[in-house]
Amino acid sequence: MTGELSPIDKAKFVAAKRAAEFVEDGMRVGLGTGSTAAWLVRCLGERVRKEGLRFRGVPTSTRTAQLARELGIEVISLEEAGWLDLTIDGADEIDGELNLIKGGGGALLQEKIVATASDQMVVIADAAKQVETLGAFPLPVEVIAFGQSATQALLEEALVSLDVLGRRTSLRMNGAKPFVTDEGNHILDLHLNRIGNARELALMLNQIPGVVENGLFIDICDRVVIGHGDGRVELRDITGGSGSEERIDLDESDNLFTDL
């Protein structure tokens, strides 16, 4: 029941529910990874069940693919899709220019590939993800396992000349072992506190040997849907302006919540 959800979960739910309305019959849709994206997949599953919506989803992780299949969504690979009409995903931080930090869930590589292979990327998030300047959330960088410590040292050296407040890096762990991505890589989290020039940093990171991809999504997001715990949603797009605000009714009998 929605009454049992925390304000943060309600905010994620209403953002996901509004964004799910962008999906139309016949579309090829990128499905993101993370807690907010999981709400989206649930909302789309409800549309499949109740409305007969038919679309093909390209998941950005194995766990998203599993959830989508469980909910009756047709899952295909990006190779099968060729190109996508739309990708909907969450974010860890969003600045005023709709630049993002992503990768808290460890799927940034597939997420960036899918997002950039789409006509449009829509980001869904709760209001706490909005920031003036990126960097408070640790920036994930996916690196190959071979030579990971050397890559980390090169990365730390490069950060000295960049406009960031912090320069500590850490290897993401899964218990006693390094976290491993779906592609078999590791993740270094950069604790930068504030990123003065996100575009410059993104370019620098991908020049370091051993770096596969970084979690800065620059000029990729076209629209954001921000949810609030009281049911309000704000819509903003890359053209700027004040955007628009709507209210989403929270259905207490919604089947989305029966297994939570």
- Region of 92 please: left (phi>0), alpha (psi -120 to 50) or beta: alpha
pLDDT at 250 (0 to 100): 72
Judge whether 246 counts as a catalytic residue: no
Distance between CA atoms of residues 133 and 190, nearest Å: 15
CATH class given for the domain over 139-214: alpha beta
What's the helix, strand, coil split of the chain in %, to 5?
30, 25, 40
In the chain, which segments carry CATH 3.40.50.1360? Answer: 2-130+219-257
pLDDT at 254 (0 to 100): 57
pLDDT at 244 (0 to 100): 85
pLDDT at 243 (0 to 100): 74
For the ranges 106-115, 137-146, 235-244, the lowest mean pLDDT is seen at 235-244
> Does pLDDT of 255 surpass 80?
no
- Which is catalytic among the residues 111, 142, 213, 234? 111
pLDDT at 86 (0 to 100): 98
Q: How far is CA 250 from CA 2, 177, 186, in A?
A: 7, 41, 39
pLDDT at 256 (0 to 100): 60
pLDDT at 161 (0 to 100): 94
Asked if 11 and 126 count as a contact pair (C-beta separation under 8 A), the reply is yes
Maximum Cα–Cα distance across the chain: 55
* Positive or negative: CA dihedral 188, 189, 192, 194: positive
In the chain, which segments carry CATH 3.30.70.260? Answer: 139-214
pLDDT at 1 (0 to 100): 43
pLDDT at 238 (0 to 100): 86
The residue that leads in pLDDT, 184 or 241, is 184
pLDDT tens-digit map of 54-113: 999 999 999 999 999 999 999 999 999 999 999 999 999 999 999 999 999 999 999 999
Q: Which residues are annotated as a binding site?
A: 33-36, 89-92, 102-105, 129
The percent of residues in the chain predicted with pLDDT above 70, rounded, is 94
pLDDT at 217 (0 to 100): 98
Burial (Cβ within 10 Å: 0-12, 13-18, ≥19) of residue 259: exposed
The vertex-137 CA angle with 86 and 186, nearest 5°, equals 75
pLDDT at 2 (0 to 100): 53
pLDDT at 209 (0 to 100): 98
Predicted confidence band of residue 3 (pLDDT cuts 50, 70, 90): low
2-130+219-257 has which CATH code?
3.40.50.1360
Q: Which residues are annotated as a binding site for substrate?
A: 33-36, 89-92, 102-105, 129
Distance between CA atoms of residues 180 and 16, nearest Å: 28
